[in-house]
């Protein structure tokens, strides 16, 4: 077994913040091409015997840094997306190990509601949830209440994440919650998107998440 230094594991965190999926990616300053990215580093530490949960903890720490930089205006949406994609690349390497060790966390069904085709926010939430170890079933955009409820029941999901950018489509969230309740499906509903407010989420019986980072915290804190 290869001996892995703490510095090597820390480089995973560093490369998530830099948004580098693999050695072919450059960092935000245009450098680092040819150096190991998140994929290569995760593979290396796994071979060295580092536990998947420990790696996920480092990834989560990295995304906390990204979240703080986004809040302060140092990072913008493209920076956050790059970091989220680096997380996704690392999670693809981790997935077989998570399934074999039973460390995968609860299932969450995520979708942009019917009539709405916007997916950037939803995609960021999905990537961060995967990075936190959740089993994410992403139904995409323009998804009917019937499809969402059907999937929640089939997958026995613990959470539903609903996104809407438009006030005209936001009301569909209430339809999803009503249908879940009518069919006796016990699941926590997370709601977010530009059109959604804390007041509206409370009104329909959902949990408001102002951004992707809060959605992860809500799911992890359950």
Give residue 197's region: left, alpha or beta (phi > 0; psi -120 to 50). Answer: beta
Q: What pLDDT band is residue 100 in, cutting at 50, 70 and 90? A: low
- Tens of pLDDT along 207-217? 999 888 899 88
Edge-to-edge, what's the strand order for the sheet holding 135-138?
135-138, 107-112, 159-163, 188-192, 207-208
Q: Are 110 and 137 in contact (CB under 8 A)?
A: yes
107-220: which CATH number, 1.10.287.3510, 3.40.50.800, 3.40.50.280, 2.30.30.30?
Answer: 3.40.50.280
CA dihedral 121, 126, 129, 135 (to 10 degrees): 160
CATH number of 6-101: 1.10.1240.10
Residue 1 has a pLDDT of 47
Dihedral sign of CA atoms 181, 183, 185, 190 in order: negative
- At 128, the pLDDT band (50, 70, 90 cuts) reads confident
Model pLDDT for residues 161-205, shown as the tens digit of each residue: 999 988 889 999 999 999 999 999 999 999 998 889 999 999 999
**Confidence at residue 165, expressed as pLDDT on a 0 to 100 scale:** 87
Q: Can you give the pLDDT at residue 155?
A: 95
Looking at residue 57, its pLDDT comes to 81
In this prediction, residue 132 has a pLDDT band, given cuts at 50, 70 and 90, of confident
Local structure of 12: helix, strand or coil: helix
pLDDT of the residue at 2 = 52
* Max Cα–Cα distance, the chain, nearest Å: 57
Contacts of 107 (CB under 8 A, 6+ apart): 134, 135, 136, 137, 155, 156, 157, 158, 159
Nearest Cα to Cα of residue 24 among 12, 40, 11: 40
Q: Locate the domains of the chain by residue range.
A: 6-101, 107-220
Residue 171, phi then psi, degrees to nearest 5: -60, -20
Would you say residue 98 has pLDDT above 70? Answer: no
C-alpha to C-alpha distance for 66 and 85, rounded to whole angstroms: 12
pLDDT higher than 50, residue 114: yes
Q: Which pLDDT belongs to residue 139?
A: 97
Contacts 24+ apart (CB under 8 A), 36-39: 36/11, 37/86, 37/89, 38/12, 38/86, 38/87, 38/89, 38/90, 39/89, 39/90, 39/92, 39/93
86-112 mean pLDDT: 80
- pLDDT tens, position by position, 41-96: 999 999 888 888 788 888 878 888 888 898 899 998 888 889 888 988 998 898 78
Residue owning tokens 């139904």: 139
Q: Is 108 exposed, middle or buried (0-12, 13-18, 19+ CB in 10 A)?
A: buried
Mean pLDDT of the chain, nearest integer: 89
């Amino acid at each position: 077994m290869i001996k892995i230094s703490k510095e090597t594991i820390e480089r995973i965190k560093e490369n998530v913040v830099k948004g580098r999926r693999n050695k072919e990616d450059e960092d935000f300053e245009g450098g680092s091409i040819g150096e190991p990215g998140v994929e290569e580093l995760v593979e290396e530490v796994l071979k060295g015997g580092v536990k998947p949960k420990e790696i996920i903890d480092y990834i989560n720490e990295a995304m906390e840094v990204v979240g703080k930089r986004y809040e302060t205006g140092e990072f913008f949406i493209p920076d956050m997306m790059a970091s989220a994609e680096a997380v996704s690349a690392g999670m693809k390497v981790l997935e077989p190990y998570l399934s074999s060790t039973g460390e995968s966390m609860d299932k969450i069904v995520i979708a942009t509601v019917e009539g709405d085709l916007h997916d950037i926010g939803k995609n960021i939430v999905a990537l961060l949830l995967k990075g936190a170890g959740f089993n994410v079933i992403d139904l995409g955009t323009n998804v009917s209440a019937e499809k969402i409820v059907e999937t929640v029941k089939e997958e026995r999901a613990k959470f539903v994440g609903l996104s809407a950018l438009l006030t005209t489509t936001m009301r569909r969230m209430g339809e999803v919650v009503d249908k879940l309740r009518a069919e006796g499906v016990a699941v926590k509903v997370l709601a977010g998107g530009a059109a959604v407010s804390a007041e509206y989420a409370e009104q329909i019986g959902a949990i408001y998440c102002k951004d992707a980072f809060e959605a992860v915290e809500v799911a992890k804190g359950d």
